[in-house]
Amino acid sequence: MNDTVRRLFARRPFLAFVWTSVALVLLLSLISNSGTGRVAIIAVLVAWVFVPFALSRYLSYRKQVARNRRITEAERMRTAKANARAALLLDSVADVESRPTDEDTCAVCLQDESIAGNWVKLKSCGHEFHENCMKEVIAHDEYDRRRRRHSDAPAVSSCPLCRSPLMKSPGGTDKDNVKYSCSSAAIVPVQPYNSTSSATIPIPAAAAALYLNV
């Protein structure tokens, strides 16, 4: 019996605290029989039980707030680093233009050229997008690829339209570069509209999800 009670109190410290409080009240009630003594006993019981409980809740809240603050700060630092790396990569693989030359709509955000901001033309394929849109695409691709591979190797992003790699992988051929850049992008076959043939057009699922804002 003593071992059972000891294990129960070890798992539930608050139960041991309440049990001790009840025993203390019973002891004080036996000592004092006056009305004033009973009121004092009740006051001591209330303070003995609820003050530590409120204090523990407050300390738990402070720990949770501090933990959330650390998580938010770490996420902010990761986002800032990803955006900085995306900006550096974009400067080396694209040319900044004031407006598109032969395309009127950004394929990433589906907004036309009237939207404020610079446009970029990819050197690998010639497709044009908003500069900020391409930075977000590169940062997202890098975060997703590192999360899946659990490595710190730099990610090689690709064009959201044709999946052409923005830069060549070290020591690889063009075929290897295409395979490397598309390794984490699922390809969904889509039947072309008003087509008499049975051929399908491979559409990157990542680009389709980006268009639908999924």
Place of tokens 């984490």: 184
User: Is 130 within the bounds of a domain?
Assistant: yes
What is the predicted pLDDT for the residue at 211? 42
**CATH number for 109:** 3.30.40.10
138 or 94, higher pLDDT? 138
Domain that holds residue 100: 78-211
* pLDDT 10s digits, 145-186: 666 655 554 455 677 778 777 765 544 444 443 333 333 333
Whether the Cβ atoms of residue 202 and residue 184 lie closer than 8 Å to each other: no
Alpha-carbon span 98 to 45, nearest angstrom: 75
User: Is 23 within the bounds of a domain?
Assistant: no
The token pair at 28 is 């004080």
56 or 61, higher pLDDT? 61
User: Is 172 within the bounds of a domain?
Assistant: yes
SS3 for 23? helix
- Mean pLDDT in residue range 96-122: 64
What is the predicted pLDDT for the residue at 124? 72
User: Is 30 within the bounds of a domain?
Assistant: no
User: Is 38 within the bounds of a domain?
Assistant: no
- Which backbone phi and psi does 175 adopt, to 5 degrees? -65, -40
The token pair at 41 is 């006993």
User: Is 85 within the bounds of a domain?
Assistant: yes
What total of structural domains would you count in the chain? 1
pTM across the whole model = 0.37
Helix, strand, coil percentages, rounded to 5, for the chain: 55, 10, 30
